[in-house]
Amino acid sequence: MLMLKCPNCGVTAEETEFAPGGEAHLTRYSSGSEDQAFTDYLFARKNPRGVHFERWRHAFGCGKWFHAARCTATLEVFGTYTAQTSTPPDDIIAAIKAKRPEWEGFK
């Protein structure tokens, strides 16, 4: 069971209070883009074993979206941060680096 801290309302709650929103920081390709880019945006996901950035919504709480960085193998949560960003903030990157020195970095 994941325990996530919602950065919008400050509540630390268990997974059942949240709704998962899939991989975070996707670039949205739409009409006018290359077919391959559009296909990859729709269907291709990283699905890594290890550090993963995700979108979550505090569905039963404040109802707001946020981002979480966690490890898919151990369920360790490195941190949660605002949804109003297209890349993970520096403190989250630093927290991951501290615990996973071998991690190759974001993207």
Stretch that binds another protein, among 20-28, 53-61, 85-93, 98-106 (CB under 8 A): 53-61
In the complex, what is the shortest distance from the CB of residue 81 to another protein, in angstroms, rounded to a whole number?
15
User: If you search the block for the tokens 């309302």, which residue do you land on?
Assistant: 9
Which are the contacts of 35, defined by CB distance < 8 A and separation ≥ 6? none
Identify the three-state secondary structure at position 51.
strand
CB of 3 to another protein, least distance (A): 10
Q: Which of residues 1-40 bind another protein (CB under 8 A)?
A: 8-11, 13-14, 16-17
Q: How far apart are CA 70 and CA 96, in angstroms?
A: 9
Provide the binding-site residues for another protein, judged by CB under 8 A. 8-11, 13-14, 16-17, 59-64
